[in-house]
Amino acid sequence: MAEAFAAVEIIAAKRDKGELTDPQIDWVIDAYTRGAVADEQMSALLMAILLNGMNSREISRWTDAMIRSGERMEWSAVKRTTVDKHSTGGVGDKITLPLAPLVAACGGAVPQLSGRGLGHTGGTLDKLESIPGWRASLSNEEMLKVLQDCGAVICAAGAGLAPADKKLYALRDVTATVEAIPLIASSIMSKKIAEGTSALILDVKTGNGAFMSDPLKARELAQVMVELGERAGVKTRALITAMDVPLGLTAGNALEVRESVEVLAGGGPSDVVELTVLLAREMLDAGKIKPLMDPADALMNGAAMDHWRRMILAQGGDPDAALPVAKEKIVVNAESSGEIIEMNAMKVGVSAWRLGAGRSRQGEKVQAGAGIEIHAKPGQEIKAGQPLFTLHTDEAARFERALEVLDGAVRISSTGEKVERLPLILEKIER
């Protein structure tokens, strides 16, 4: 069968700053998914998109073509309104773990299809897999059952969901085209729209530890994604949130699960609690769900913890099992006394990754117990010799490179210098 277009013509059109037509976009996504367009041709097109951009019609059509490459989830059998959250990722960002059961406890249904970590940002599935017995891969029937029984499910997206994105994601990773806003937005939103949720809250991180470190770029990405969601009939809002300092006091899989459980038990670090409650309220509001109780109350009265336990059990996990602990640990102490002025989130994230908490290529195994505990954060006083970080890994040989990147991650001052931090929420974007 003759192909409707030639890939080289489409590449040339975008290379020369032209607009791609709807039929061209439909064809190139479909042809690439079925192997009729080669990786080197799609690589050239992705680079042309990165350099010359796309207008909102092109991005919307590209996203739509990616959704049509696979199946769409359907939750009409669920009696509650479905709402979801997506974070662009950061260091110590374990918010999904307490948030999904919290929203379920307040009356929403959360079908959270999550991913694995790559590089310095952790993946939700990697974190949950540190719980003995917990399964990330569920069939669509199992997913629906867990959602109906527990009000929330966190699992891996099936192979049938936006298969074009899986191929493109792997290609972007090896062709230095990850940063293109049209490609980021379409990648995230094709999966979230295909997931079939009625409302979506986007948590777009900015600051040194975020994928979009520049707040203006983060804002642009948020606006494009909100428009894509609304065009597809999904009530979409975005919050631009701080990632200049790690979230909470842990970075690493089992360490972050432990902290999430503390939050669900009514404790935990104040920034994690504040962002979790805030996102829960936004999700309930966007879904027009009359809450059974306020999210802050659901954390204090045990309702969110009940839903967490049921959700973990339903996916084969043991919520009472001891979490894995790394074989080796060392403590990093403060070298001087004073107030902590800065803590570079990116450096902490890369250090946790070098300890074995993350992966440098798809499919690599991560260590469940590896990571970093943070003992003091910006705004706190510390004395020389007091613990600043505890580093955890199964392989002592990893300490050297992890410590190397932590050098200069923290600045301590005794001169009364002001701590300059981004506000937790920089901006809210909705249409």
Number of domains in the chain: 3
pLDDT score of 16: 98
Q: Clarify whether residues 114 and 49 are in a common domain.
A: no
Query: How does 226-261 read in b/e, with b if 16+ C-beta sit within 10 Å?
Result: bbbbebbebbbbbbbbbbbbbbbbbbbbbbbbbbbb
Instruction: Decide if 152 is inside a domain.
Output: yes
Task: Please give the average per-residue pLDDT across 278-285, as a whole number.
Answer: 98
Say what percent of the chain tops pLDDT 90: 90
* One domain for residues 113 and 225: yes
Residue 12, domain CATH:
1.20.970.10
On whether the CB atoms of residues 73 and 196 are closer than 8 A, the answer is yes
**Considering the entire predicted model, what is its pTM?**
0.95
Q: Tell me which of 48-57, 176-185, 289-298 is least confident.
A: 176-185
Nearest CA to 205 out of 178, 241, 172 is that of 241
Which of 4-18, 111-125, 160-174 is predicted with the least confidence, judged by mean pLDDT? 111-125
pLDDT in tens, 6-42: 999 999 999 999 999 999 999 999 999 999 999 999 9
Same domain, yes or no, for 134 and 212?
Answer: yes
Of 214, 305, 324, the C-alpha closest to 260 is 305
pLDDT of 174 > 90? The answer is no
What confidence tier does 139 reach under pLDDT thresholds 50, 70, 90?
very high
Q: pLDDT tens, 85-109?
A: 999 989 999 999 999 999 999 999 9
Which CATH number do you get for residue 164?
Answer: 3.40.1030.10
Range(s) of the domain holding residue 380: 328-413
Domain identity same for 279 and 199:
yes
Contact 189, 234 (CB under 8 A): no
Instruction: Examine the domain organization and report whether 152 and 237 are in the same domain.
Output: yes
Asked if residue 348 and residue 273 are part of one domain, the reply reads no
192 and 105 in one domain? yes
Residue 118 scores a pLDDT above 70:
no
Residue 73 counted as domain residue: no
Summary mean pLDDT of the chain: 95
pLDDT, mean of residues 288-294: 98
pLDDT(317) > 90: yes
222 domain-assigned: yes
Same domain, yes or no: 289 and 362 = no
99 and 36: one domain? no
Question: Do 304 and 269 fall into the same domain?
Answer: yes
In this structure, the answer to whether residues 17 and 120 fall within a common structural domain is: no
Residues acting as catalytic residues: 86, 165, 172, 187, 191
